[in-house]
Structure 1
Amino acid sequence: MLKKITKLGQILGLLTSSLVFSQVGNVGINTPNPGSTIDINGSLAAHYTAVSTTSYNLNSSDFHVSYNGPANAVFNLPAAISGSGNFKGRMYTIKNNTNFTVTVNSAAPETINGNTSITVPPNQSAQVINTGLTGASSTWEVSMGSSSITASNGLSITGTDVKLGGTLSQATNIATAGNNLSINGAGKVLIGTTTVPAGAANSKIVIDNGTTNGALQIKDGTQQLGYVLTSDANGLATWSSTVTTAFANNWTSYSGTLVNPFTGTTGGGNLATGISVQIPAKGWYFFRSGIAINSDCNDYTFYINGIGDVWKSYCTSNTPIYMAPRDQNRVLYFSTPGTYTVLAVKTNGVVPITFNAGNPTFYLDFVKFQN
């Protein structure tokens, strides 16, 4: 009997010696020379848990927890332990397989990287590791994953898709660096409003500054007090004075060839003269014209229908004379650019003895002087 007890003691001694050795050395699985505390030459398995409930308490048997529930979920981390039983280094991986969010809460007053909770967005994952600390210290750290990724300042996130489409809430500078920034399609650029106002159906840019003056400012070096924004033939706008400079050097003559409109034996208007004027832009224009007509009593007029007279002479004698005044000036306003026909009128059936013969011969020219 004593011999058997001695043999058992020897076996226990050898086992104890082996266990003590494994505590201070490396353990190898499928490798004879482990280089780390645990050296595994093969696969590694840990506990996998699938959760579909919207509230779940993580525990000591969990490692990887996948959420497949029908709504937003809340996962609660276990409270830290001080002293014996401390689980410093414990890791949890939370995988969100849904289009909802998973909120991971620490046990109060503990924190996760200084926060009471983290959010795992749709189709994202997060891994946390226990620091061994207790109280209000960071008991957990986020070691990997995208739980801290959010979309803001003009970005939105759906699962793994981060794209433009949110609200710009911070100062934002778009440095094109020579590249074009294009905005096309049927949409509009709305500034100061999210609603397209009445009358803006065809507008591409809408600025709504309410009742506050100064909704638009354009500075290109040509701006000055009292100037207006003026377009060239290609739509390129610059600031310009409302008064045309170099007034006397920018006259434009009429177009066409003058014919005698006063050959009829009756009076009347809307007589063809064969000439017209080409008005380039809306505004006020200064006209000057003159012609010599030898006739007895009659009133002769050149005019632009709907705008006004450009030359007119009244009856001054019952015997033929050159009609006076021969040289006249007019100020006319055109609200729309375009080609305007010059017409004529006479008050009775008198036909002039001579038309456009003498001094001066017919002239008609004009210049814009104000918008």
Structure 2
Amino acid sequence: MLKKITRLGQLLGLLTSSIAFSQAGNIGINTPNPGSTIDINGSVAANYTAINTTSYNLNSADFHVSYNGTANAVFNLPAAISGLGNFKGRMYTIKNNTNFTITVNPAVPETINGNTSILVPANQSAQLINTGITGANSTWEIVSMSSSTNNYTASNGLTMSGTDIKLGGSLSQPTDIATAGNNLSINGTGKVLIGTNTVPTGAANSKIVIDNGTTNGALQIKDGTQQLGYVLTSDANGLATWSSTVTTAFANNWTSYTGTLVNPFTGASGGDNFTTGISVNIPAKGWYFFRSGITITSTCNDYWFYIAGIGEVWKAYCGTASPDPINFVPRDQTRVLYFAAPGIYPVVAHKTNFVVPAGFNGGNPSFYLDFVKFQN
């Protein structure tokens, strides 16, 4: 009889160990008047797991997982469960004790705060909680991200206000802003001040102010067009390039025409745009001083050489009609011409009537045409 009673007690004990009890109200541990569903007056312990492998799948037995490996690691969260077995509210703390990173991945297509993965940087930790949602939703939320020491500092262009770290401090070390094809825009009514934090007199409308005190060399611009003695000039759109400065005609920097001169006045009729076979190569926009000379022997007529759209470089009118050919004067002439753009400009000719010169380029010296830039 005693044996039967003992066996029955064993069966009842086994049965009661598998039963989950429920009750209304709160449960207190070491407290007679619990104020919450579970009120514990004492310490709480949860599972602590140390991991060294670079790949780990978190499971129902985990609570705090510390990584102590020697390379970057990947931690995978368990897939959410809909209905029976749903673990809404489960929390994981992932601690990175290394100088490497941990990538935390939810099960596809789930997300962490809408992200397909998060990184736990070196010596940082992350605490996650399960939302109970399944599918392509924020199945997990980030409760906190923190450092191992909770020692935050703001430096090198950053300032701290409480827990807000933002731009606005002083740069304290070399800084490279690599835009990688992205635009860096500075707009608004403010200014960019270099070398000073005070807007100087006269700079009310300036966007960039450089104050180098009394030291030379406050500005350097290199674009491949810079040369010794050049100045920065602008086109109609404000695009700046370097171009040659003022040059005097007495500096012996003359440039001659190119090509071989041919007689453009052999035809019996008058007209414009006769080919001469020569041109001038203008290196940059600006004002140029031209000098030219040629001897033309003819009866009364008008002859000249010119650059279409720019102006003439040599011109002679018939002053007094003569039955005999004469040398047209003045032989040597000078002009000031402006060129709006560099380029090769052909030199063409004109004559007013049917007279063909009796002599062309028969002087001593022979034809010459050269030029020099003297102002931008």
TM-score, with length taken from structure 1: 0.49
TM-score, with length taken from structure 2: 0.48
